Structure 1
Amino acid sequence: MPRAEANHTLARQWEMLKLLPPRPPGITAAELTGKLGDLGYDVTKRTVERDLNELSRLFGFTCNDERMPYGWHWMEGASLNLPGVSLGDALSLRLVEDQLRPLLPSALLRALEPRLQQARDKLAELAPSNAQARWARKVRTVPASLPLLPPQVMPGVLDAVQEALLGDRQVQVHYQRAGETDATLYTLHPLALVQRGPVSYLVATAFDYPDIRTYAVHRMRSAEVLEKIAQAPAGFDLDAYIASGALQFGAGQTIRLKARVDVALAQILRETPLSEDQSLGQVWNGFCALNATVQDTWQLRWWLLSHANQAVVLSPAALRADLTLRIAEAAALYGV
C-alpha cells in the first residue's frame, strides 16, 4: 500500500475510534460510515465493518449483538484517551493559530507548539485525499483597515506582563507615552490583555488610582513582576469595558450622530450599520440623512475623516467643529 494511502487509512481509522461511544447500545456501522463521510472520508459501510472487526481485536471495544442493528462501543474500563488530534481539532487549531499566538502566555504557547505542529502535519498529510483538510487553505481573515506591521516589543516585556496577569500580581514598568522622549516608572495592577490589530494593550490600574487605562505593551521599555498581589476594581468586566468603547480610545460617551452621506456610503452603511438603531432617509440631491447612536471616540473621528468627501456631520456641534478644524488643517497642508 502506498504511504499516502496508508496514512489516509490510519487517519480514518483513528477518527472512527474517536467516534465510538463509551457504553451500549453503541453506534452502528452505517452511522459510523455517515459520520466519517461528514468528516470528508469517502468510505463504504463494508470497509467500516472490516475495520471494526480488525481493530476490535487490538482495542478495548466490542459489538453489542443483543439486538439489531448491532452497535459498537468501548468496553467498560477501556481507556478512551487516544493520542493525537482529530481532523476537526487540527482544522480548528490551524484556523485560530495566528490569533492565539499574541494572546497565550509564552510558557503555555511553548507547551502547545507540538500540538500546533501536529495539526499542521495532519492537514498536510490528508489534504490530497480529504476536502475538509484543504479547507484551511481556502479561507482567510483580512483587516478592514490599512494593514500595519506589529510594533517591536522589548525582550522579556511581554513575558513579564503575561506572568503578572496570569498570577494576579503587580508589575512595574518603565512606560514611554506617545510623543514623549522619557519613560516614566509605573506600578500597574494588570486586569486584562487585549489584542487590537497588531498592537497588544495591557488593561490596568496604576498605583492606587481607581481609573482603568490601557497601556501599549510596545511602549514599555522594561517590565518587572512584583510579589505584591494586584488589586482589581470591584465588578470589573472585560467584555463590558470593551463594549464601552475604551479600546476605540476617547471619552466613550454616547452621542446621537446626525449626518448627510452620499449614495455610495449609504449603501455600505445599509449593509454594515454603525449601530442597532441606525436609520437612513430617502435620497435627496445625491445624499441621505443618517441617524445613529454611537460612541464618541477617536475611531469614530478617523472613520468620518476617511469619508470626508462622502459625509457631512450635522450634529453634535462639537464633533462637527472638531472635524471642520481638522479638514481645514489638512487642506492647509496640501496648500489649498
Structure 2
Amino acid sequence: MSVLSVRASRIVQLLLLLQTRGRLTAAQLAAELEVSVRTVYRDVDALHAAGVPLYGEAGHAGGYQLVEGYRTRLTGLTENEADSLFLTGLPGPARELGLGAEVAAARLKLTAALPPELRDRATRIQQRFHLDAPNWYAEPDDTPALAAAADAVWRERRVHIRYHRWRAPTEVTRTVDPYGLVLKAGRWYLVAASKRISTYRVSQISELTVLDEEFQRPPGFDLAAYWASYLADFDARRHVDTATVRVSPELREHLLDAVEPSVHRAVEDTASEPDEDGWITATVPIEKMDHAHRLFLGFGADVEVLAPAELRERISASVAALARTYSPG
C-alpha cells in the first residue's frame, strides 16, 4: 500500500471516528489512529481543504467536531475488511492473523453506517459483551508462522513446513496443501493435506515457506465438520482404558470444573447410588497410566481408585512417599 493510500485511509478513519463518537480531542484521535498529534493536525487541515464541515474548539473541554447533521458516505468496505467481519468479536485472533487493522476499520465503517438509535445499541453491546478465546491458566502460543499460513490458506498456495512433534522422529519436514486454520482454546491449528488430511499445531511449526504452486481444495470440504470429526477421533484414540473410582460428594459437586467433559459425563452416566457417606462409584475413561496417575493423585482424599490394580498401586506408592516427605522430624 502506498504512502498516499495509507494517508487517505487514515483520514477516512478520522472522519468516521468524529461521525460515530462526536467531539474528540487531537490527543484522543492520535491515540485511536496510532499517529502523532502533529499528524492529526495535518489530517484535519486536509479535511478542511476538502470542504468537510469540521470545526475545533480550544480549551480543556474542546476538541474537533463535525457540524451537526453532516454524515459521510465513505463507508464502503474493502475486500480485506469484508473478509474480516466474522472476526470482529475476536480482536486478538484477528490481530494474530494480520487483520487487526482491517477488523478495526470494518467495525468503524459499520458503526458509521448505522442510524443513531442502532449505533447506540451497537455501542452498548460492545460495552457489555466481550469474548476472550484463550483458556485459563495457559500462556498464549508463540505463532510466528501464523500470518504466512493464513496467507497460504487464503490464496490456496502449497507450503513447505518444518514441524516439531512429540513422537520420533521429533523433527519432520512436509509439503502440504493448507485447507484451513482453527482456533481452539486460544491455540491455532493448521488443517492441511499431503497424503492425507492432518492437523498441525501452528506454534510447533518452526519454519514455513509459501510456495508458488497452487492447489485445489477438495469440492465440498467442510472445515467445521472435519474439526468435529477430528476431535471425536482424538478422544477415542487417547482414552485407551477405563478406571473404576469412588468419588466424594464434595468433589462430585465441583467435578464439572475439575475434569474434562468426557470424564464428567462418564461419572454421571455410570454413577452408583450414593453410599451412606454420599460417595459414588463410577467408571471413567483414562489416558496413559502416567496421566491417570497424576490426575487422580491431584484430587487427594476425594477420590479412591479401585481399578486397575496397577494404577491403584502407583497412587498408593506415591501417597506413601508423600507421607515420608511430610512426616515430622
What is the identity, as a one-letter code, of the residue corresponding to 1:310? D
Instruction: List per-residue Cα deviations over 1:121-168 (Å, max 9, x = no partner).
Output: 999x989x96774344444556896432213222xx212211232344
Structure 2: 5+ residue stretches without partners: 1-18, 23-68, 78-84
> Which whole-Å CA distance do the structure 2 matches of 1:170 and 1:147 have between them?
35
Distance 1:84 1:264, change over 3 A: farther
> Which whole-Å CA distance do the structure 1 matches of 2:210 and 2:299 have between them?
44
Distance 1:288 1:218, change over 3 A: same
> Which whole-Å CA distance do the structure 2 matches of 1:121 and 1:148 have between them?
37
**DSSP-derived class of the 2:141 partner:** coil
Instruction: List per-residue Cα deviations over 1:19-71 (Å, max 9, x = no partner).
Output: xxxxxxxxxxxxxxxxxxxxxxxxxxxxxxxxxxxx9xxxxxxxxxxxxxxxx
Q: Is the 8 Å Cα contact of residues 142 and 203 (structure 2) preserved in structure 1?
A: yes
Aligned partner of 1:147 in structure 2 is: 137
Distance 1:285 1:149, change over 3 A: same
Which of 238, 241, 262 is the equivalent residue of 2:229?
A: 241
> Which whole-Å CA distance do the structure 1 matches of 2:316 and 2:179 have between them?
35
> Which whole-Å CA distance do the structure 2 matches of 1:330 and 1:229 have between them?
59
> Which whole-Å CA distance do the structure 2 matches of 1:119 and 1:126 have between them?
14
What is the identity, as a one-letter code, of the residue corresponding to 1:148? A
Q: What is the count of residue pairs matched by the alignment? A: 240
Instruction: Give 1:150-229 correspondences, 5 Å limit.
Output: 150-154=140-144, 157-177=145-165, 183-205=171-193, 207-208=194-195, 210=196, 212-226=197-211, 227-229=213-215
Aligned partner of 2:304 in structure 1 is: 312
Distance 1:241 1:84, change over 3 A: same
Structure 2 residue 279 is matched with structure 1 residue 287: yes
Distance 1:160 1:275, change over 3 A: same
> Which whole-Å CA distance do the structure 1 matches of 2:209 and 2:316 have between them?
40
Q: Is the 8 Å Cα contact of residues 94 and 119 (structure 1) preserved in structure 2?
A: no
Q: Is the 8 Å Cα contact of residues 135 and 185 (structure 2) preserved in structure 1?
A: no
**DSSP-derived class of the 2:139 partner:** coil
Instruction: Give 1:31-110 correspondences, 5 Å limit.
Output: 83=75, 96-98=89-91, 101=94, 106=98, 110=101
Q: Is the 8 Å Cα contact of residues 164 and 206 (structure 2) preserved in structure 1?
A: yes
Q: Is the 8 Å Cα contact of residues 192 and 238 (structure 1) preserved in structure 2?
A: no
CA displacement at 1:223 relative to structure 2: 0.7
Aligned partner of 1:134 in structure 2 is: 124
What is the identity, as a one-letter code, of the residue corresponding to 2:150? Q
Structure 1: 5+ residue stretches without partners: 1-5, 10-54, 56-80, 86-91
Structure number with higher helix proportion: 2
Q: Is the 8 Å Cα contact of residues 134 and 187 (structure 2) preserved in structure 1?
A: no
Identity of aligned residues (%): 18
When structure 1 is superposed on structure 2, of 160-169 and 235-244 the one drifting more is 235-244
Distance 1:225 1:255, change over 3 A: same
What RMSD over aligned residues (CA atoms) do the two structures have, in Å?
Answer: 5.4
CA displacement at 1:179 relative to structure 2: 9.3
CA displacement at 1:288 relative to structure 2: 1.5
Instruction: List per-residue Cα deviations over 1:282-314 (Å, max 9, x = no partner).
Output: 14445222245x58489x847545435432344
What is the identity, as a one-letter code, of the residue corresponding to 1:290? A
> Which whole-Å CA distance do the structure 1 matches of 2:156 and 2:320 have between them?
46
